[in-house]
Structure 1
Amino acid sequence: MVHTGAVEWAGYDDVDAREATRANRAWWDANAEEYLSEHGEFLGPADFRWCPEGLREADARLLGEVAGRRVLEVGAGAAQCSRWLVGEGAHVLAMDVSAGMLARARTLDAATGVRVPLVQADARALPLDDACVDVAFTAFGAIPFLPDADRVHAEVARVLRPGGRWVFAVVHPVRWAFPDDPTEEGLTATRSYFDRTPYVEVDAEGEPGYAEFHRTIGDHVREVVAAGLVLDDVVEPEWSPDNEHVWGGWGPVRGRYLPGTAIFRAHAPG
Structure 2
Amino acid sequence: MDLQVQRNRTVWERASYKHVREYDDLLRQAREGGSLFGRERDRLTDVLRPGPAVVHLQSGHGLEDVGLLRAGARSVVGVDFSRVATGAAQRRADELDLACRYLVAEVPGVPLADGCADLVYTGKGALIWMRDIQAWARDAARLLRPGGHLFVYESHPAVPLWNWDPDEPRVRADRSYFARSFVNDSFPADGAVEWQWTLGEIVTAVVSAGLRLVHLSEHAEPFWRPEGAEAAAWQGRLPNTFMLLARLPGEGE
> TM-score over 0.5 for the alignment?
yes
Q: How does 1:157-172 map to 2 (within 5 A)?
A: 157-172=141-156
Give the alignment partner of residue 215 of structure 1, picking from 183, 197, 211. Answer: 197
Amino acid at match of 1:99: R
Aligned residues: 239
Query: Which residue matches 2:84?
Result: 100
Are the structure 2 counterparts of residues 119 and 169 from structure 1 closer, same or farther at C-alpha, using a change threshold of 3 Å? same
**TM-score, length-normalised on structure 2?**
0.80
Is the Cα–Cα contact under 8 Å of residues 48 and 56 in structure 1 kept in the other structure?
no
- The alpha-carbon deviation at position 82 of structure 1 amounts to 1.1
Alignment partners' CA distance in 2, 1:99 and 1:138? 18
Query: Which residue matches 1:258?
Result: 238
Is the Cα–Cα contact under 8 Å of residues 75 and 100 in structure 2 kept in the other structure?
no
Query: Which residue matches 1:21?
Result: 5
- The alpha-carbon deviation at position 30 of structure 1 amounts to 1.2
Query: Which residue matches 1:72?
Result: 55
Alignment partners' CA distance in 2, 1:143 and 1:74? 10
Amino acid at match of 2:55: L
Query: Which residue matches 1:200?
Result: 183
Q: How does 1:1-270 map to 2 (within 5 A)?
A: 18-34=2-18, 44-45=29-30, 46-50=33-37, 55-61=38-44, 64-87=47-70, 88-110=72-94, 112-114=96-98, 116-179=100-163, 181=164, 183-184=166-167, 187-191=169-173, 193-200=176-183, 209-239=191-221, 246-247=225-226, 251=230, 253-255=232-234, 256-270=236-250
Is the Cα–Cα contact under 8 Å of residues 75 and 99 in structure 2 kept in the other structure?
no
**TM-score, length-normalised on structure 1?**
0.75
3-state secondary structure, aligned to 1:156: helix
3-state secondary structure, aligned to 1:82: helix
- The alpha-carbon deviation at position 113 of structure 1 amounts to 4.4
Deviations 1:142-188 (A, max 9, x none): 32112113212101111211121001122211223322x16235x12
Is the Cα–Cα contact under 8 Å of residues 11 and 192 in structure 2 kept in the other structure?
yes
Are the structure 2 counterparts of residues 201 and 57 from structure 1 closer, same or farther at C-alpha, using a change threshold of 3 Å? closer
> Unaligned stretches of 5+ in structure 1?
1-16, 203-207
3-state secondary structure, aligned to 2:47: coil
Is the Cα–Cα contact under 8 Å of residues 182 and 248 in structure 1 kept in the other structure?
no
Amino acid at match of 2:244: F
Is the Cα–Cα contact under 8 Å of residues 182 and 250 in structure 1 kept in the other structure?
no
Are the structure 2 counterparts of residues 247 and 152 from structure 1 closer, same or farther at C-alpha, using a change threshold of 3 Å? same
Amino acid at match of 1:149: I
3-state secondary structure, aligned to 1:61: helix
